[in-house]
Structures are given as C-alpha cells and as structure tokens.
Chains A and B, each alone.
Chain A
Amino acid sequence: MDEEDNNLYHDKVVIRLIQFSIIWAVLAMTVGVYISAELIWPSIDFGQFWLSFGRLRPLHTNGIIFGFAVSALMATGFYSVQRTSHAPLYAPRLAWFCCYAWQLTVLLGGLSLLAGWTTSKEYAELEWPFDIVIAVVWVCFGIVFFGTIANRKIKPIYISNWFYGALIIVIAMLHIVNSLAIPVTIGKSYSVYAGAQDAVVQWWYGHNAVGFLLTGGFLGMMYYFLPKHAGRPIWSYRLSVVAFWAFTYSYIWAGPHHLHYSAVPEWVLSLAMIMSVILLAPSWASMINGIMTVSSASEKLKTDPALKFIVLSLAFYGLATFEGPMMSFPSVNVVSHFTDWTIGHVHSGALGWNAMITYGTFYFMVPRLVGVELYSLRLANIHFWMALAGTMLYIIAMWGAGVSQGLLWLSVDEIGELSFSFKDIMSSMTPYYALRLIAGIIFLGGTLLMGYNLFMTLAGKHALKVYAPAVSPAFGVSS
C-alpha cells in the first residue's frame, strides 16, 4: 500500500450508515403513524398481539433512537472525526463491524419487542442478550472513534469530537448501570434495583440517554456540519468549550425531574429541578453559538435547503431545551406529567431538532460523498416545508391535548368533588389525536421524499476518493 492510500478516508461505511439511518427513519416513523391511528381506531390491531399498541410503541421509540439516530450519529461521527483529525478511521474493519452488527441488533431487537421480550424500562426495553451485544458494539464504536483521534495529524481535538466522545462514554456508563439484571430465561430478566430505587436509576438513564445521545451527540453534528456548511468558523470557540463542560456536568443530575410527586426523596427531586434550570445556560450557549456562526452567511440560507434544515433545527432545539426546564418545575409538572404534553415535548426535540439537523446534514453530505449535485433541490425544498408543517402541527396538537388533560384531571368543584370523569376527558382527545396523525403523515411524507431524493443522488455512484490533506507544521502533531 502506498503513502497515498494510507491517507484515504473511509467513506463507504459512512454512506452505508446513512442508508440504514434513512431506512430506520421511514420504518420507525411509519410505526409511529400507525400507533397514532390506533389511538383513534383501536381495532386496527385486528386482535394480533404483534400489532398491539403496547408492543408497537417501544418498537417506534427504539427504532427512532437506536436505528435512525444512532446510525446517523455513527455516520456523521465517522465522517467528521476523519476530517477533523486529518487521519483515516482507525481499524476500518471494526467500523464496518459496528455498522452491520448495530443494524442486526436493532432489527432482531425490534422483532424481540414484538415477541414481548421487554424490560418495560423506557428506551432500555431490550432484554439482556441485546444489552450485552449493544455494550460490545458500543465499545467497538469507541475504539474506532478514539483510535482515530489518537492517530490524528493535527494537534487540537476539535470541539465536535468532544460531544461525540461524551456520547460514547456517558451512554456506555448509563447503559451498563441501568441494565444490570439477573437473567431468568433468554427473553426475561429481573432488575437488580427495585421500586423507587429502580425508578431513580431508570430516569437517570432515560433522561441522559436523551441528554447525551439526542442532545449531546447531535450537538457534535452541529459543531462540525454547521460551520462547514456555512463556510464560517464557529462564532466563539471559547463559548463552545465552556458550554461542553457545563453541559456534561449538569445534564446528568436532571433525570429525577421525571418523578415529581412520587415516593422518591424530596431532596433528589429538588436537586434535579435546580440542575434542570441551570442546564438551560449551556444548552442555549450552543444554540447561540450556532446561530451566530450562520448569521454572517445568511445569504446562503435563502437558497440552500440543507442549511435551512440545520438552522431551523437549532430553533426547535432552543424551544425544546427551554420547555424541558420549565416542565421540571413541580408547578408546571403537576399539569404536564402523564399527559400528551410530554409526547409533544419529546417530538419537538425528536422531529424539530434531531430529525431536521440529520436531514440537513444528509443533504449536505450525500452529494459530497459521491461528488455530484443533489438530485433535486426542489424536492428538498418541499421536504423542508413538509417537515416544518408536520412538526408544528404535531406540537400544537399535543400541547392542546396535554394541557387540557392535565387541567381537567386536576379540576375539582367548589365542594371538592372531581369535575370530570377520566373517560370523558379521554374521549375528548380524538380531535387532537386526529391532528397528530395528520402531522405524522406529513412529516413521514417529507422523509420519504428525502429517501427518494438521496437514493437518486447515490444511484450508481461510488464514494469519492478523499485523502487527508497535509497539515501545516504549526498545528501538526510532533512525531
């Protein structure tokens, strides 16, 4: 192998991961649309256990988080770590192993959920055999990622890599601690934690899976692809550094705010609320940094759908990271908890932030990876408006549903009698659920358009050969 090939970036695995990510997005969103229809027409499960809401809903969340989001994070992580390290992937075969082993895990894991193998712990539903495989693949992901950084030709480790690094390390820690269980059969185990203690561990995991995967990991995506696409350096590198450490420190405390008014000790809940509010500062610091970076390239915003997606995603990120701390106040949480407001909050993050920044990034990366123009700018622009409309409708529907549920459940008349029966409140949700179904179909439709557009862009093309550039001696690693 000559010197040149030693510097060749491994981009084929990136393309494959993007393809898988889009497939999971379509599948998992389709399941989401289907279960939202089940809440309007409950008999469309046709009495089949594997179409039952209780089994499909975890399939939807796991498909989005572990199929769509993690594949997208692996793809963008592998792409950006090579370019910020000026070095090809460390152990490229291991990267391919991560790619396929992960897809197989999500596929079989999804089938196991349909079969009723579940721990019931949210976003950690997969049973112990999958937990072990996930841990192994995750460690391999870490070896490829940190190995590439260790091999880098340029002295500083760029900020995006810290966020991807925190994603890998913290998710490993959370996953292992929360999954500790005694196996009974191949598809059943009992948690080593019980009752209130299990609740605290689960929400320490559940909240931070959102934190370090859906927030931190995607901030890594933002810190590389936004400046790259805008053609501007990040507005304030120092702010990004402060935001990173403050984010990594404070996020981990916030989990128990999912357990307000429960049997968990009061001090744990108060601390979680305070840290949730503090978390607003580093969350918004990254948003401001991103928006300031793009503000000097605003001309490009008018014409480039990829950049529009990324900037809009930052707006929804700002909304969701503001709404979250508000919902951690007991006085707000008393209304929002257990209602569809929570579902709306999650989707303002998952659709508005995670999906949109991923879409923008895919529109940016895919043509570059194969060295052609995007198949259709027009379709991408239509997709942009469908994604925006779908997300807005979804959030509005769930705010309406959630706030009315929360207030009506709590409502008592002047002599202290309940004003409404649960059944009546539940029956009044149909219009909101119908609006949500429409919103979901619009958003899914946009995702299908993107799938077609990127498929046509990639059709018959091969990954461009891209080589690590020479590094100026001033920044190079001394050998």
Chain B
Amino acid sequence: MSALSLHKKIEENTGLLIFGILLVSSIGGLVQILPVLNQQSLQIATENTRVYSAVELTGRDIYIREGCSVCHSQQVRPLIAEVERYGPYSRAGEFVYDRPFLWGSKRTGPDLHRVGGKFSNDWHRVHLIDPRSVIAASIMPAYPWLAKREASQVGNITAKLSALRILGHPYSDEDIAAADSELEGLKEIDALIAYLQMLGTGLSEDISI
C-alpha cells in the first residue's frame, strides 16, 4: 500500500484519524518522558536533604499560594555568574521532596534556591511586610496579611503529611501526630520564613560550587 492510499484511508475514517493522532503524539512522551520518570538517580536525596517539617511545609504552601514562584526561580544554573551571585548550582537530589517543583521560569526578582541562612529572620519579616522599607527600589508586593493570619489555618497539616507519606515521604506516626502542635501560636509569616531559611541547605557543607 503506498503512503498516499494509506493516507486516503485515514482521511476518510474518524476512528483511524483519532488513533493516528494518539499514536503519533504519544511516541515522544514514551521515548523521552517515561524513562525520566523511571530514572532512579533522580530520586536519591543529596546528603543534607530531608523532608519538610510541618512548619516548613506550611511555609512552602504559603509560598505556592502567594505565587512567589511567578517571580522567583529556585534553580541556580551551573554558570560562573550564577554560582557567584547565588551559591552552588542546583542538584536534582535536592528536590526529591518537592511536590510540586518550584524552579520557576522567570526572575523578576532574584533566584531563591540558596537564600536559606543568608538573611536574618527579622530581615525577612520586615521585608515581607514592607519590601520598600528594606530595599527602596524593590518592586515586590507587600504581604502584610501574613503577619496576621494563623499558620494553623493554612490547611489540614495532618492530612498533608499523611498524603505525602502515601507518596513515599518518610514521615513517622510521631511526626504526623505532633504536626498540629508545631504550628500552634505561629503566624503565616513565621512558617514562610522557616521555609525560606531551609531553602538550599540540602548539600553537604564542603560543596562550594
């Protein structure tokens, strides 16, 4: 059968057309994406990478809720200028507990992957509530409500840890039982700062590039 007469068949048959589109469009996914999902080396945590605590996870969910990743990447590229500006480039093993990943696609503000430990908690607090009081030229939105809302109201933290455990994150029964009390008395801003301070601390300390 010549290519043209084969095509004539597809062109006159709805079912064949649907099947053809499905077949042709799935090859790329099967050859390129599926192997990545099965690649074990992408699932091995680097030396100091650990699961997020109840407070850090709550902070991370606030980071997601406020759309921080719209303007801040978390992916330091292996380039001289980036390593100098931000710190060691990002490794796959640092992200194994990141659901979803937050690498971002735009740096309206600077990359945040190595921001952990660079500024004090107080600096973050003032900066989040009123960015321009710290950096006059900043165009970051202010987040005054973070200082008012309770961290325990961000979502059901017990259910969150349990869901992540189903996905393979090593939370113990004790971790899950203690989660509610860890959030007690904290504001949203405290949780977000806890998350920011642990960002990028998953590498062994002797790695400088």
Contacts and interface: CB of A to CB of B under 8 A. Distances in A.
A426 B81 contact: no
Interface string B77-95: 1111110110000111111
Given A42-B140, A338-B105, 20 more contacts: A53-B67, A118-B67, A120-B100, A149-B17, A166-B25, A173-B26, A184-B160, A189-B163, A191-B99, A195-B96, A195-B98, A197-B39, A204-B32, A245-B20, A250-B28, A262-B90, A263-B90, A265-B39, A337-B105, A409-B107
A38 B25 contact: no
B134 to A, nearest CB: 11
Contacts of A121: 100
Contact of A423 (B26, B37, B137): B137
A3 interface: no
A190 B157 CA distance: 13
Contact of B18 (A165, A188, A268): A165
Given A185-B156, A262-B77, A265-B36, A55 B67 contact: yes
Interface in A81-122: 116-122
Top 7 A-B residue pairs of the complex, sorted by shortest distance between their CB atoms: A54-B67, A195-B95, A252-B28, A263-B92, A261-B77, A116-B65, A253-B28
Contacts, number: 251
B103 A199 contact: yes
A198 B99 contact: yes
B67 A120 contact: yes
A452 interface: no
A261 B96 CA distance: 18
A66 B24 CA distance: 25
B206 interface: no
A354 to B, nearest CB: 19
A259 B73 CA distance: 12
Interface stretch (B115-123, B141-149, B179-187): B141-149
A190 to B, nearest CB: 4
A435 B129 CA distance: 29
A122 B105 contact: yes
B207 interface: no
Nearest to B62: A116
Range for the number of chain B residues in contact with chain A: 35 or more
A197 B92 CA distance: 9
A202 B37 CA distance: 12
Interface in A311-344: 334, 337-340, 342-343
Given A190-B160, A249-B25, A412 B100 contact: no
Contacts of B1: none
B152 interface: no
A298 interface: no
17 contacts: A39-B139, A42-B140, A45-B141, A146-B18, A166-B25, A191-B100, A194-B95, A194-B167, A196-B95, A201-B37, A249-B27, A253-B28, A265-B42, A338-B106, A343-B106, A410-B79, A426-B108
Contact of B100 (A42, A202, A250, A417): A202
A197 B100 contact: no
B67 A57 contact: yes
Interface of B: 7, 11-12, 14, 17-18, 20-22, 24-29, 32-33, 36-37, 39, 42-43, 61, 64-71, 73, 75, 77-82, 84-85, 90-111, 131-132, 135, 137-145, 155-156, 159-160, 163-164, 166-167
B31 to A, nearest CB: 8
Contacts of A201: 33, 37
Given A169-B22, A198-B100, A42 B132 contact: yes
Nearest to B154: A188
Given A204-B33, A338-B73, A118 B64 contact: yes
Contacts of A418: 81, 84-85
B17 A157 contact: yes
A338 B107 contact: yes
A473 interface: no
Contact of B138 (A42, A410, A416): A42
Contact of B37 (A193, A339, A410): A193
Interface string A415-448: 0111000110011000000000000000000000
Interface string A337-353: 11110110000000000
A381 interface: no
A289 interface: no
Contact of A422 (B29, B70, B77, B110): B110
A251 B25 CA distance: 8
Interface string A139-154: 0000000100110000
A190 B64 contact: no
A195 B25 CA distance: 25
B106 A188 contact: no
Contacts of A183: 163
B69 A120 contact: yes
Contacts of B32: 204, 253, 256, 268, 271-272
Contacts of B90: 262-263
A166 B21 contact: yes
A190 B165 CA distance: 11
Given A53-B70, A166-B21, A194-B95, A200 B160 contact: no
Interface in A232-269: 241, 245, 248-253, 256, 258-259, 261-265, 268
A411 interface: yes
B142 A412 contact: no
A62 B103 CA distance: 20
B42 A197 contact: yes
A47 interface: yes
Contacts of A259: 103
A200 B137 contact: no
Nearest to A253: B28
A7 interface: no
Chain A CB count within 10 A is highest, among B100, B137, B156, for B100
A275 interface: yes
A57 B84 contact: no
Nearest to A260: B77
Contacts of B80: 412, 416
Nearest to A166: B21
Given A118-B65, A195-B92, A53 B71 contact: yes
B167 A264 contact: no
A220 interface: no
